[in-house]
Amino acid sequence: MERTLVSELSGMVGKTVTLQGWLHWKRDLGGIQFALLRDRSGIVQLVVEKDVDLPIAESAMEVRGQVVQNAKAPGGLEVLAQELQFLARALEPSPIEIPKEEWRANPETLLEYRYVSLRGEKARATLKVQAALVRGFRQYLDAQGFTEIFTPKIVSAGAEGGSNLFPIDYFEQRAYLAQSPQLYKQIMVGVYERVYEVAPVFRAEQHATSRHLNEYLSLDVEMGFIRDENEVMDLEENLLRAMLEEARRSVSSELELLGAEWPNLTEMPRLEHAEARRILREELSMPVGQDFNEEAERALGAWAKERWGVDFLFVSKYPEVARPFYAYPEGDGRTRGFDLLFRGLEITSGGQRVHEHRMLVEQLEKKGNDPANFAGYLEVFKFGMPPHGGFAIGAERLTQKLLGLPNVRYARAFPRDRHRLTP
C-alpha cells in the first residue's frame, strides 16, 4: 500500500489513500470524531467513526480512507477514515499541547520539553528555514569552486583567545573543544585555495544572553589569493543573497508562517570602524570602546536602517586592539578585519589574515603571546601560504534575525546555554 503525503491530497479527491503521521489533535462530537493527522508535509482533518478508540495526541498512526472535499475543513479537504492502525501509542499526555500551546507557552517549557515541542509548526518551520540557509551556503560555495572540509573539534589550543574554552581530558593530556576552525581552515587554504565548513563550535560564555549559545553552528569560509578584505566581503554579500534566495525558493510557506520580514539584499554598505565610532559618539551620543557592545551594535543597525534603508552593515578596518593576532594589520593601528551586522546584531567576523611567518610572530608577540606556544601553527606558514581571508557566520544568529526570534536558542534544536545541558 503506497503512502500518500498530506501535501499530495489536493490531487486525490475521491480516491482512497494511506496516510502516516501523528495524531495532532482530536475532538469527540458525540456522533462522530474529528482528528488532525500531521506528517512531514502538512496537517489534514480525519473524520473517524464514533466507536473507534482514538489514542492520545502524538501517537504515531496509519490511516486508510477516502479523500473528500469539505470547505469547512482546514485546507478544504478531509479524509473519511476507514482503517486506522496505531503504530506507536503515546504513553502519556504530551507535556505541551502542541497545537494550542506552542504559540504562547512559556519559553523555558518549550526548551525543557524540546523533544515534543520541536514537533510544533513554528519550531519545525524555524529549523527548516535554517536548513535551507545552510543548503544555500553549500550550493553557492560549491559553485564557486570551494571544497567542504571537516576539521577536528578536539584541539590542543584555542583559536580565538583563551577565555572561553571548554577544557576536556584527552587521555593523559589537556585538550579543548574547538572554539572555531580558524587555524585549520587557514591550513586548508594551502591545500584547496577555497574552503568552507559547516560544523558546531563551542564557547564557554559565562553570561546568559539572548544572542549567546555555548554550542553553535559556525558557517566558515576561507579563500586564498585575495588582494584584500574587500574581496572577502564581496563574496559574503553574494553568498548571503544566494542563501536567502534558496530559503525563499524552498521554504516560502515557512517564512510566511513565521512572519519573516524580507531584508534589503541590494545594498550592504561598508562603514569603517573609526567612522562608526564617530557616528555612535557624535550622532547617537553613545559612549563607545574599541569593540562595540550589544547596545552599540543595535544603535548602529538602527542608524543604518533609518539613514540608508539597509539591514546588513559591514563595519570594516577594525582596530588591532579589538582583533585576534591573525588579523592583517594595516600598520596604523587598523586591521583588515570586519564584522557584519544584520539588523543590529553581529552575525559575522572576518577579514584578511596574516600570511607571512615573520609578521605572524610579530603579531603574536604584540598580543603578549609566546610564539613558542604556537609552534605548530607557525610551522604552516613556512610553506607558501598565499594572501588569504575569510569569515564565519553564526547560523543561529542569522536565523534569529531573519525570523525576528526573541532568543537565539529557538534557532537551535537542542540549545546548550549557561544553564541547559538537557535534553
**Residue 291 is a binding residue for ligand AMO (CB under 6 A):** no
Chosen residue from 39, 62, 205, 231 binding ligand AMO by CB under 6 A? 205
At 247, is the secondary structure helix, strand, or coil? helix
Segment near ligand AMO (CB under 6 A); pick from 47-55, 251-259, 345-353, 375-383: 345-353
Long-range contacts from 395-398, C-beta under 8 angstroms, 24+ separation: 395/130, 395/133, 395/134, 395/198, 395/216, 395/217, 395/218, 395/219, 396/130, 396/213, 396/216, 396/217, 397/211, 397/216, 397/342, 397/345, 397/346, 397/347, 398/133, 398/243, 398/342, 398/347
In 3D space, the residue among 315, 316, 309 whose CA is nearest the CA of residue 267 turns out to be 309
Chosen residue from 120, 136, 224, 350 binding ligand AMO by CB under 6 A? 350
Give me the least distance between CB of 36 and ligand AMO, in Å please: 35
Q: Tell me: is residue 351 an annotated ligand-binding position.
A: no
For ligand AMO, the closer of residues 260 and 411 by Cβ is: 411
Chosen residue from 257, 346, 362, 369 binding ligand AMO by CB under 6 A? 346
**Residue 130 is a binding residue for ligand AMO (CB under 6 A):** no
For ligand AMO, the closer of residues 183 and 260 by Cβ is: 183
Q: Tell me: is residue 205 an annotated ligand-binding position.
A: yes
**Residue 141 is a binding residue for ligand AMO (CB under 6 A):** no
Beta strands (DSSP E) in 89-184 are 147-148, 154-155, 167-170, 173-177
What is the largest distance, in Å, between two alpha-carbon atoms of the chain? Answer: 84
**Residue 394 is a binding residue for ligand AMO (CB under 6 A):** yes
Positive/negative CA dihedral, 103, 105, 108, 109: negative
d(CA 102, CA 410): 12
Residue written as grid cell 540549545: 415
Give me the least distance between CB of 9 and ligand AMO, in Å please: 40
Give me the least distance between CB of 38 and ligand AMO, in Å please: 31
**Residue 347 is a binding residue for ligand AMO (CB under 6 A):** yes
**Residue 33 is a binding residue for ligand AMO (CB under 6 A):** no
For ligand AMO, the closer of residues 33 and 348 by Cβ is: 348
In 3D space, the residue among 227, 199, 203 whose CA is nearest the CA of residue 214 turns out to be 203
Which amino acid appears at position 240 of this protein?
L
- In the window 208-237, what residues touch ligand AMO (CB under 6 A)? 212-213, 216, 218
Binding mask 156-175 for ligand AMO (x = CB under 6 A): ----x---------------
Q: Tell me: is residue 337 an annotated ligand-binding position.
A: no
> Length of the chain, please?
423
d(CA 138, CA 144): 10
Chosen residue from 348, 352, 363, 399 binding ligand AMO by CB under 6 A? 348
Residues 6 or more apart in contact with residue 293 via CB below 8 angstroms:
none
In 3D space, the residue among 359, 360, 355 whose CA is nearest the CA of residue 375 turns out to be 360
At 294, is the secondary structure helix, strand, or coil? helix
Segment near ligand AMO (CB under 6 A); pick from 105-113, 295-303, 346-354, 356-364: 346-354
Q: Tell me: is residue 394 an annotated ligand-binding position.
A: yes
| Strand duo 194-202 + 147-148: pairing | parallel
**Residue 391 is a binding residue for ligand AMO (CB under 6 A):** yes
Segment near ligand AMO (CB under 6 A); pick from 21-29, 93-101, 281-289, 340-348: 340-348
Segment near ligand AMO (CB under 6 A); pick from 28-36, 59-67, 122-130, 388-396: 388-396
# binding residues, ligand AMO (CB under 6 A): 21
Residues lying near ligand AMO in the complex (CB under 6 A)? 160, 180, 182, 203, 205, 212-213, 216, 218, 346-350, 390-392, 394, 396-397, 408
List the binding residues: 160, 203-205, 211-213, 346, 349, 353, 394-397
